[in-house]
Amino acid sequence: MPELPEVEVLVRHLRPLVIERRICGVEVRRAKSVRPDTAAAFRARLIGGRIRALERRAKFLVFTLESRPLRAAFPLVGHLGMTGRMFLQPRRTALPKHAAVVLDLGGECLVFEDPRYFGRLSLDAAPLEQLGPEPLADGFAPADLRAVLGCSRQPIKVRLLDQQALAGVGNIYASEALFVAGIPPTLPCVRLGPKRVARLWRALRTVLQEAIDFGSTVPLNWSGQNGSDGLFYYGRDPAAPDYYEERLRVYGRQGKPCRVCGTAIRRRVLAARSTFSCPRCQPR
DNA sequence: CACCATGTTCCTTG
DNA sequence: CCAAGGAACATGGT
């Protein structure tokens, strides 16, 4: 469900709602959604802790918790997988069918819902160490992107999805950024010279920032209730116009006319993921 | 029924 | 060692 922009928007939304609140209850409804995956061990660590910070790293939500007596800080790392959501709801409201973990924050509960159960709430922060640079960081320059791409013949689209190379880009925004940059998804990394690297660098930042700005200004339905869970991740008010789908340039638009030149958008599979491009706007 | 899905990991094959 | 492909995870939408 989430790529970098969606997680960023979620974190900005959640932060003021959860910060400084104490976890007075933990209900693990799916042991597999939690690490360590014994509910008791997970609970014991969280109960009584206070949420001191919430940040995004790549597609992860990183909560900084402070334990009760010793004030020792430790991270709780969330990943939404494909279909995960997090939202607050009043304590006695009925939980959704696939609520995996519920943190009782006093008046309200923080619900981690995840129909496909690919997501995790984990006390192991080690995966964060392996991540590549943040494409939206101030210090991230075209030279850094060039370094990240390396000299392999791996298709550029596949490399963009590698979280150890670059953090946070997923299947939607990889196709979108390559379209904006005018680069074909199959182009080997070695063949991106300074000009293409500069265009891709700009395109990545544009596309990701645009999505964050969009998600920050449009009302989102965090629980996903009464909304189809469409391409923007938290469901929409059914009455609201479908802005987001209109915003995507190539993703999911197989066979439809390119918004720039009218050529039919092509879909192909790279590294087992659907990839969309315009044959004319993204020439070799 | 068939096919698709925003992610990641693991295994096999070349 | 590297790259690529497939399966697995589990459920829901079209």
Q: What pLDDT is recorded for position A97? A: 94
CA–C1' distance A273–B3 (Å)? 14
Question: How far, in Å, CA of A8 to CA of A180, rounded?
Answer: 22
Q: Which residues, listed in sequence order, are joined to residue A101 by a DSSP beta bridge?
A: A28, A112
- Chain A 84-123 residues whose Cβ is under 7 Å from strand B: 116, 118
Q: Which two tokens stand for residue A28?
A: 């693990």
Bases along strand B below 7 A from a protein CB? 4-9
Q: Which helix (H) or strand (E) holds A120?
A: strand A120-122
Question: How far, in Å, CA of A110 to CA of A100, rounded?
Answer: 11
CA–C1' distance A258–B2 (Å)? 28
In the numeric block, the tokens 């008010």 are attached to A237
The reply to whether A229 has its C-beta less than 7 Å from any atom of strand C is: yes
Q: What pLDDT is recorded for position A218? A: 78
CA–C1' distance A83–B7 (Å)? 9
User: Strand, coil or helix: what is A22?
Assistant: strand
Q: What pLDDT is recorded for position A249? A: 94
Pairing of strands A266-270, A50-57: unpaired
Q: What pLDDT is recorded for position A274? A: 94
- Rounded to two decimals, the pTM is 0.94
Active-site pick, A2, A115, A184, A185: A2
DSSP H helices, A162-252, are 171-181, 194-217, 243-247
Mean pLDDT per block of 10 residues along chain A (284 residues) reads 90 96 97 92 96 98 92 96 94 94 96 95 94 97 95 94 96 96 95 96 97 84 62 51 72 94 95 94 94
Q: Which helix (H) or strand (E) holds A100?
A: strand A99-104
Q: How far is CA A112 from the centre of its chain?
A: 15
Question: How far, in Å, CA of A269 to CA of A130, rounded?
Answer: 26
Going from the N-terminus, what domains does chain A have, and what CATH number goes with each?
4-130 (3.20.190.10), 142-277 (1.10.8.50)
Phi first, then psi, for residue A53 (nearest 5°) are: -155, 155
Dmax (CA) of chain A: 64
Q: How many CA atoms lie within 13 A of A154 on its CB side?
A: 14
Q: Which residues, listed in sequence order, are joined to residue A77 by a DSSP beta bridge?
A: A62, A122
Q: What pLDDT is recorded for position A160? A: 96
Task: Mark whether A256 is an active-site residue.
Answer: no
Task: Mark whether A273 is an active-site residue.
Answer: yes
